Chain A
Amino acid sequence: MEWDTFALTTAVIPVVFFASSTYIPGIMRKIQARIQLRIGPPILTPGFWAIFKFIYKERITPVSPMPRLYHALPVIGIFLMFFILLLTTPAWSGVLGLATLVAIAGLVKVEEALYIFMGNLSQSILSVRMPYPDRIKGAIMKGATRRSFEQVAALRTFKLISIGSFPLYLGMFVPAVMAGSISIMSVAAYQGFDTAAFGIRDIFSLSPLLFTAPGLVGALAYVAGYLVVLNEYPFSIMHTKADVIEGPSLEYAARARAAYYLMKEATLIVMSSIFVTLYIGLPPVVGWALVPHLLLCLALPVAAAIISAFTPVLTFKQVYPLSLGCTALGVVGVILAIL
Chain B
Amino acid sequence: MLKEISRKNAVHIMLVYTGGCNGCDIEVVNAVMSPFYDMEQYKVMLTWNPREADILAVTGPVTKKFEKALKEIYEAIPEPKLVAAIGTCAITGGPYANLGGDLGSSDQIIGGVAKVIPVDANIPGCPPRPEDILQAVASVIPLLAGKR
Chain A 54-65 interface mask (CB, 8 Å, partner B; 1/0): 011111101000
Does A57 contact B9, Cβ atoms closer than 8 Å? no
A41-B40, A41-B41, A58-B80 known; A49 and B6 CB under 8 Å?
A: yes
Q: Which residues of A contact B54 (CB under 8 A)?
A: 53
Q: Is A94 an interface residue (CB 8 A)?
A: no
Q: Is B126 an interface residue (CB 8 A)?
A: no
Which of B5, B51, B54, B65 has most A Cβ within 10 Å? Answer: B51
Q: Is A45 an interface residue (CB 8 A)?
A: yes
Complex: A316 Cα to B112 Cα, angstroms: 43
Complex: A131 Cα to B45 Cα, angstroms: 26
Using CB atoms, name the residue of chain B closest to A261: B52
Shortest C-beta distance, A245 to chain B (Å), equals 5
Could you list 6 examples of A-B contacts with CB < 8 Å? A29-B40, A45-B9, A53-B6, A131-B69, A246-B49, A253-B52
A45-B9, A57-B79, A125-B72 known; A253 and B40 CB under 8 Å?
A: no
Does B49 contact A46, Cβ atoms closer than 8 Å? no
Q: Which residues of A contact B43 (CB under 8 A)?
A: 41-42, 45, 49
Does A42 contact B9, Cβ atoms closer than 8 Å? yes
Does B78 contact A49, Cβ atoms closer than 8 Å? no
Q: Which residues of B contact A322 (CB under 8 A)?
A: none
A57-B78, A125-B73, A125-B76 known; A50 and B10 CB under 8 Å?
A: yes
Q: Which residues of A contact B5 (CB under 8 A)?
A: 49, 52
Q: What are the 4 A-B residue pairs with the smallest beta carbon separation, nearest first?
A: A52-B6, A49-B9, A38-B35, A58-B79
Complex: A78 Cα to B68 Cα, angstroms: 37
Total count of chain B residues near the partner, CB < 8 A? 30
Complex: A60 Cα to B76 Cα, angstroms: 9
Chain B 57-95 interface mask (CB, 8 Å, partner A; 1/0): 000000001001100110010111000000000000000
Does B3 contact A56, Cβ atoms closer than 8 Å? yes
Does B51 contact A252, Cβ atoms closer than 8 Å? yes
Q: Is A254 an interface residue (CB 8 A)?
A: yes
Q: Is B2 an interface residue (CB 8 A)?
A: yes
User: Contact partner of A57 among B48, B65, B80, CB < 8 A?
Assistant: B80
Q: Is A232 an interface residue (CB 8 A)?
A: no
Q: Is A37 an interface residue (CB 8 A)?
A: yes
Total count of chain A residues near the partner, CB < 8 A? 40
Does A246 contact B48, Cβ atoms closer than 8 Å? yes
Chain B 23-49 interface mask (CB, 8 Å, partner A; 1/0): 000000000000100101101010011
Does A49 contact B10, Cβ atoms closer than 8 Å? yes
Using CB atoms, name the residue of chain A closest to B34: A38
Does B48 contact A126, Cβ atoms closer than 8 Å? yes
Scan residues 117-150 of chain A and give those whose CB is less than 8 A from a CB of chain B: 124-126, 130-133
Does B10 contact A46, Cβ atoms closer than 8 Å? yes
Q: Which residues of B contact A40 (CB under 8 A)?
A: 38, 40-41
Complex: A36 Cα to B32 Cα, angstroms: 12
Complex: A29 Cα to B38 Cα, angstroms: 13
Complex: A45 Cα to B49 Cα, angstroms: 18
Scan residues 13-60 of chain A and give those whose CB is less than 8 A from a CB of chain B: 29, 33, 36-42, 44-46, 49-53, 55-60
Known: A42-B9, A245-B49, A246-B52. 6 other contacts (CB 8 A): A33-B40, A52-B6, A53-B10, A56-B6, A124-B51, A125-B76
Using CB atoms, name the residue of chain B closest to A57: B78
Scan residues 238-292 of chain A and give those whose CB is less than 8 A from a CB of chain B: 241, 245-246, 250-254, 257
Which of A33, A41, A59 has most B Cβ within 10 Å? Answer: A41
Using CB atoms, name the residue of chain B closest to A59: B78
Shortest C-beta distance, B30 to chain A (Å), equals 13
Complex: A252 Cα to B40 Cα, angstroms: 22
Using CB atoms, name the residue of chain A closest to B44: A41
Q: Which residues of B contact A33 (CB under 8 A)?
A: 38, 40
Does A45 contact B10, Cβ atoms closer than 8 Å? yes
Q: Which residues of B contact A251 (CB under 8 A)?
A: 51
Does B38 contact A254, Cβ atoms closer than 8 Å? no
A33-B40, A57-B79, A250-B51 known; A46 and B9 CB under 8 Å?
A: no
Does B40 contact A38, Cβ atoms closer than 8 Å? yes
Does B78 contact A36, Cβ atoms closer than 8 Å? no
Complex: A40 Cα to B50 Cα, angstroms: 22
Complex: A31 Cα to B35 Cα, angstroms: 14
Shortest C-beta distance, A51 to chain B (Å), equals 8
